[in-house]
Every structure is written in C-alpha cells, then in structure tokens.
Amino acid sequence: VTEEAHNPLEQFEARKILSLPDIFGYDISFTSASLFMGITVLAAALFIGVGTSRKQLVPGRLQCMVEMIYQFIMNMVKENAGNEGVKYFPVIFSLFIFILFANLLGLVPYSFAVTSHIIVTFAFAAFVFVGVTSIGFYKHGLHFLHFFVPKGLPGGIGGVVLAIFMIVIEFFSYLARPVSLSIRLAANITAGHTLLKIMASFVGASLFGVFPFIFLLVFTGFELFVACLQAYIFALLCSIYLNDALHMH
C-alpha cells in the first residue's frame, strides 16, 4: 500500500479518461467527473423513464417512488413560490433530481462525487442566480431594483446616507446567494467523503479497528441522509429565490 492510497483528498481528483485537444485554451478532456455526470444523467433519466413508463392506477414500487418525489417537489414549489412558481417547476425538479443522484452515486465505493467540486455546484447556482434575476427584471422591470431598498428608512440626509449604505449591503447579500448555495453543497459532500475516507483508513490499523468500523457504518447512513438533505436544501433555496423574484418581499 503506497502513501497516496491513504490520502483522503485523492478521491476528489478528476482523472483524464480521454484526452481531447484544447479549445480556445481550455482543456476539454473527458474526465472521471464528466463520466460520472453522464452516469448521473442516465441513471436519473432511467429512474424517471422506467418509473413512469407503465402508468398504472395502482402504482408499483418504482412508480410510487417517482410520484412521491414529484409530489414532494411540487408541494415545495407551491408552498414557497406560490402558484406562479409552478411554471418553473421543471427546472427545479431537474436540479433536484440531478443533485440527488449525483450525491447518492458519489457514495458508491470507487465512484466519483461530482457535487464535491465547487465548479459544478457553482455552475448550477450561477445558472439559478442569472435565471432568477432575469425573471425578476422581466416581471417587474426596473421596479425590481426596489428589492435592494429596505423599507422603513428615516427621512432627511441621515435617511439618504443610511439608504446608500443599506443598498450596498443588500447588494452584497444578493451577490452572496449563488456563492452560499454552491459552497454549502460542495462543502457538505467534501467534508462527508473526507471523513469517511479518514475513518476507513483507521479500520485496518489494529484490533481496535472495530470501533472506527462501527462509526463508519453509522456515518455512511448519516451521509445518505445528508445527500438527500443537501439536494432538498438546494431545491428549496432555488424556490425561495424564485419567490423573491416573482413577488419581491
């Protein structure tokens, strides 16, 4: 066993599978990350496709699972973004199902956790951010800028100074949204996988390896929970941001 085999961060390294020529100076090689993103999409599509292929009145197990997830996300969107938000349900549902499958597939031994890469999660978050901001401007026009002006400011010069100050802070807090959205997901998945790996390296150390092994068992279950929870939080925050853009607060 080499030294590198025990490096807990090695699992997050994207390895080149198929080298491709650079395009505009960007390396577009097919990596393990690309492979597992492809597998995630396929698995999710298969799950939904097979689950809804035999539309039975009394659903089987698979159809039941698909319907439950659909209902769950639909209710979440309705609750948080209102009936107008249902128009954007397909996007939120796709995001949820992709992140859920990426998180769960990442937990399979020897696989690759796509959502541990901040560039992947940030791409989603930035997409949501740009989309939601465009919806806000499309729906409210320049009135959407009132979103950054807090209510209940005092009058006079003091009020103006405070307003400028608050608008800057509000603007930063708005810009922080995609960053917090992406950091949360990537950090949770990275932390979980790193801890699993570190604990796993203790198992073979001695006879007392039984204890880290028990911990590992319990923690794997917890990681399954985190995988689902993080996908849910991502979708939930997307619908909350959508609500802000549709209705302003």
Partner 1 sequence: VLPEKNEISSLERLDSEINRMKARLNPVPPKKPEGIAAAMQMGAELLAGAFVGGISGFYMDSWLGTSPFLFILSFFLGCAGGFLTLMREMDKKEINEMNETKDTAL
Contacts with partner 1, residue ranges (CB under 8 A): 79-81, 168-177, 179-181, 183-184, 187-188, 229-230, 232-233, 236-237, 240, 243
How many angstroms separate the CA atoms of 128 and 116, rounded?
Answer: 18
Q: What is the DSSP letter of 15?
A: P
- Considering the complex, what minimum distance in angstroms separates the CB of residue 241 from partner 1? 11
Residue recorded with tokens 């198992």: 203
CB closer to partner 1, 51 vs 85: 85
Helices (H) and strands (E) in the chain, counts: 6, 2
- Considering the complex, what minimum distance in angstroms separates the CB of residue 166 from partner 1? 9
Tally of CB atoms within 10 A around 203: 16
Q: How far is residue 41 from each of residues 6, 47, 48, 96, measured CA to CA in Å?
A: 30, 10, 11, 12
CB closer to partner 1, 113 vs 242: 242
Using N-to-C axis directions, what is the helix angle for 118-140 and 89-106, rounded to 10°?
170
Rounded (to 5) percent helix, strand, coil in the chain: 80, 5, 20
How many angstroms separate the CA atoms of 13 and 4, rounded?
Answer: 12
CB closer to partner 1, 92 vs 200: 92
- Considering the complex, what minimum distance in angstroms separates the CB of residue 46 from partner 1? 28
Helix (H, G, I), strand (E, B), or coil: what is residue 167? helix
CB closer to partner 1, 36 vs 144: 144
CB closer to partner 1, 110 vs 225: 225
How many angstroms separate the CA atoms of 17 and 26, rounded?
Answer: 16
CB closer to partner 1, 62 vs 233: 233
- Considering the complex, what minimum distance in angstroms separates the CB of residue 156 from partner 1? 22
Tally of CB atoms within 10 A around 37: 19
- Considering the complex, what minimum distance in angstroms separates the CB of residue 50 from partner 1? 30
CB closer to partner 1, 26 vs 172: 172
- Considering the complex, what minimum distance in angstroms separates the CB of residue 77 from partner 1? 11
- Considering the complex, what minimum distance in angstroms separates the CB of residue 85 from partner 1? 10
How many angstroms separate the CA atoms of 43 and 50, rounded?
Answer: 10
